[in-house]
Structure 1
Amino acid sequence: MKMINWAVVGVLVLLPFFVANRIDAETQRRAMITELRYDAALDAAVDDAAQSLPINVNQAEEAQYESIKRMRVNKEEAIAAFYRTLYMNFGITDDPIAQGVLNRYIPAVAIIGYDGFYVYAEEEFTNASGETEMRPLWWAKKPYAYADALGNSLSFTLDDYVVAYEAVSRTWREGFRSELRQQTTIPLLRDPELFEQVRRSTIVSAIQNELAYRINRYNRYVSRHGISYTFTLPTISAEEWNNTINDVGVMAFVQGIPLGSKRYNNYALGGSRVLKKPVIIGAMKDGMKVYYRDTCSYPYPVEETFASEKAAAAKGYRPLSCVNRGG
């Protein structure tokens, strides 16, 4: 057989492989672009939800103590913003059927609050007509609760403010750890490093356990409605969890959307700290009352905090410049 004939045969044999590889590469490229678009849509939805947390919230209803991270949350406004932005970026703002399909791939949304968290997840119930339905709803607020071997109980927050029950005296106390450490016999309040370690692990475990429980319940519901995909709580790094519990925010999961030969799975975190006004610190400097923004860094003993410079000045504090201190 002539060389040209062998070449033709070779081309005919290899051509299907070249075409298949080309098609596969194009499919992967399109899937990657779609995945990036989904990522951007989810991130935008969570960010908008986080930015909506403080909307129309009456801060005057809060307890009369100051904390940089203390903030009431409007979870209804946040969840509305989440879905509104998500639908817009998926191009289904005016398509309720497509919205319903997309909702099936969102097993849970969590609001990380200052002294507890909320989970928004679907529940199965029987309606007035006797038919079984699934509808998303807010579950009861879960505190960041901890109990030690001595019978003491503590309810943590996103900073070192704590509500504590002392088993020996059978009394409740609340305040910042530094204030309570000399007032109680609770060992954890006397060790700042251990307190911080236990506080963080307690908050993360509480959120993880509740999300895993809600997602497992969701699996049972959707399996009876023809969805075979198994939803799971994704592996989230310790760094991500630390970022999550540093401030009030939103966490959302999207799982199982068909994407070529695989499924789209992702989660997103959004914090609301950027919306908060700077906190004014009132401190003592050489016996004189001074105030400065929390973006400054001074070693002076903190006396109290304020929402504005005017409030600090009204209490007799004098302004302290942040020049050369990053403020």
Structure 2
Amino acid sequence: MKITDMAVLFVSIALPFALMLRIKNDNLKNAEYKSMILNRYLDTAVEDASNAMIVRGMDNKIFISREKAVEAFFTTLYVNFGIMHDETAKDVLKAYIPVIVLIDYDGYWVYSAESYKNINGEIIQEMVWKPKKPYFYEKKGFVYLFTLDDYVKVFDTINKVFYEGRREELTSALPFDTLICDFELFEEVRKRTIAESIKKDVNIAINEHNKYAKTYGIAYHFSPPSISDGNWQRNIEDIGILAFFQGIPVGIRGERFNSYALGAARIIRKNYYFIQQDINGIYYYHRENCPILTEKDTIYDNRRECALLGAFPCHICNP
């Protein structure tokens, strides 16, 4: 066989594979671009929801509105998708949102699919807010109701005694309680309890969502996301909205968009810190009102967290 014939044969074999790889690469890029846009839509929606849910009443008292939160969330999505006046498209888009969680100071609400009978006996299936659940933990006869900071309620089920206050304030009332007296253990259990409680209900809601999605002809199987325990705990630190967006097609080869986003209201932190590098390259942590603090990009919850990152306490604001 001549060299030219071999070359033609090679090209005839290799070219289709090259074209297939090119098409596949273009499809992947297109799917990545669509996913990036959808992530932006989702981030914007949860930020708008977290802002809308904070309602100030008389005496500047703060209230949490679930209705305003979910209304703002979906309105932002509808506007970004360009379907504000298409009711059918709105219903289909909502079917790709398996669960929304409103994280409050002392508990959380879950917005997910629910089946019930109306006054006519007809079975109705729609997304509704479930009753609020506390951050509940029980051990050795004690029931703990945690919050997003160190305020805690403790019930002694044996002696029928109720305690309430800051963890440090309760150490004198409960000197025998290791959880209350050990700051590091308290924080570990508190964060784990909050994260695991929400994670459990999110997973249940997503699994149950498959029945709801089928009514809109969505064949995609919704399943709980792969999120590490550490990421769960880091994502749940303040009052806010946690939303999951799954299953919407983004590519011609069956690619699907799966993501979640958190919008935090930033209203409960009473003591928080910021780390900043000085002119000598040394990192110091500061209070928010420190006169030499200029960088406020990342918020840290406590001094221990800052110290573990290698930062020293500022000598000006004495955090």
Q: If the TM-score is normalised by the length of the shorter chain, which range does it land in?
A: 0.7 to 0.9
State whether structure 2 residue 180 is matched by structure 1 residue 189.
yes
Letter in 1 for 2:90: Q
2:41 alignment partner, SS class: helix
Do the aligned residues in 2 keep the contact of 1:166 with 1:186 (CA within 8 Å)? no
State whether structure 2 residue 143 is matched by structure 1 residue 153.
yes
Q: What is the RMSD computed on CA atoms of the aligned residues? A: 2.9
State whether structure 2 residue 214 is matched by structure 1 residue 214.
no
Query: Residue 295 of structure 1 aligns with which residue?
Result: 288
- How far 1:26 sits from its partner (Å)? 1.7
1:266 alignment partner, SS class: strand
Query: Residue 138 of structure 1 aligns with which residue?
Result: 129
1:250 equivalent among 233, 241, 258: 241
- How far 1:167 sits from its partner (Å)? 3.0
State whether structure 2 residue 167 is matched by structure 1 residue 177.
yes
- Map 1:93-112 to 2 at 5 A: 93-112=84-103
Describe the shift of the 1:58–1:138 C-alpha distance in structure 2 as closer, same or farther (beyond 3 A). farther
- Map 1:8-23 to 2 at 5 A: 8-23=8-23
Task: Give me the TM-score of the superposition, normalised by structure 2.
Answer: 0.78
Q: State the distance in 2 between where 1:31 and 1:20 align.
A: 16
Q: State the distance in 1 between where 2:118 and 2:287 align.
A: 52
- How far 1:140 sits from its partner (Å)? 0.4
Describe the shift of the 1:58–1:201 C-alpha distance in structure 2 as closer, same or farther (beyond 3 A). farther
User: Once structures 1 and 2 are overlaid, which stretch shifts more, 93-102 or 139-148?
Assistant: 93-102
User: Once structures 1 and 2 are overlaid, which stretch shifts more, 51-60 or 31-40?
Assistant: 51-60
Letter in 2 for 1:176: R
- Map 1:1-327 to 2 at 5 A: 3-57=3-57, 72-149=63-140, 151-184=141-174, 185-223=176-214, 226-260=217-251, 261=253, 262-273=255-266, 276=267, 295-296=288-289, 324-325=316-317
Do the aligned residues in 2 keep the contact of 1:56 with 1:74 (CA within 8 Å)? no
Letter in 1 for 2:14: L
Q: State the distance in 2 between where 1:110 and 1:9 align.
A: 60
User: Once structures 1 and 2 are overlaid, which stretch shifts more, 221-230 or 251-260?
Assistant: 221-230
- How far 1:20 sits from its partner (Å)? 2.2
Aligned residues: 280
Letter in 1 for 2:15: L
Do the aligned residues in 1 keep the contact of 2:99 with 2:243 (CA within 8 Å)? yes
Q: State the distance in 1 between where 2:271 and 2:217 align.
A: 55
1:22-56 Cα shifts (integer Å, max 9, x gaps): 22222122111111101111111111111122134
Q: State the distance in 2 between where 1:222 and 1:259 align.
A: 18
1:284-305 Cα shifts (integer Å, max 9, x gaps): xxxxxxxxx96247xxxxxxxx
Q: State the distance in 1 between where 2:65 and 2:138 align.
A: 29
Describe the shift of the 1:189–1:13 C-alpha distance in structure 2 as closer, same or farther (beyond 3 A). closer
Letter in 1 for 2:262: L
Describe the shift of the 1:199–1:79 C-alpha distance in structure 2 as closer, same or farther (beyond 3 A). same
2:225 alignment partner, SS class: coil
Do the aligned residues in 2 keep the contact of 1:155 with 1:163 (CA within 8 Å)? yes
1:226-266 Cα shifts (integer Å, max 9, x gaps): 43322222122344323322211111001111222221111
Do the aligned residues in 1 keep the contact of 2:112 with 2:128 (CA within 8 Å)? yes
Task: Give me the TM-score of the superposition, normalised by structure 1.
Answer: 0.76
Letter in 2 for 1:171: V
5+ long unaligned stretches in structure 1:
62-70, 282-292, 298-321
1:154 alignment partner, SS class: strand
- How far 1:9 sits from its partner (Å)? 4.2
Q: State the distance in 2 between where 1:5 and 1:111 align.
A: 68
1:193-251 Cα shifts (integer Å, max 9, x gaps): 21111111111111111112222222344456643322222122344323322211111
Describe the shift of the 1:191–1:14 C-alpha distance in structure 2 as closer, same or farther (beyond 3 A). closer
Letter in 1 for 2:124: E
Q: State the distance in 2 between where 1:232 and 1:59 align.
A: 44
Q: State the distance in 2 between where 1:72 and 1:176 align.
A: 22
- How far 1:171 sits from its partner (Å)? 1.6
Q: State the distance in 1 between where 2:211 and 2:2 align.
A: 66
- How far 1:60 sits from its partner (Å)? 6.5
Letter in 1 for 2:88: I
Letter in 1 for 2:164: E
Q: State the distance in 1 between where 2:21 and 2:59 align.
A: 60
1:43 alignment partner, SS class: helix
Do the aligned residues in 1 keep the contact of 2:287 with 2:317 (CA within 8 Å)? no
Query: Residue 318 of structure 1 aligns with which residue?
Result: none
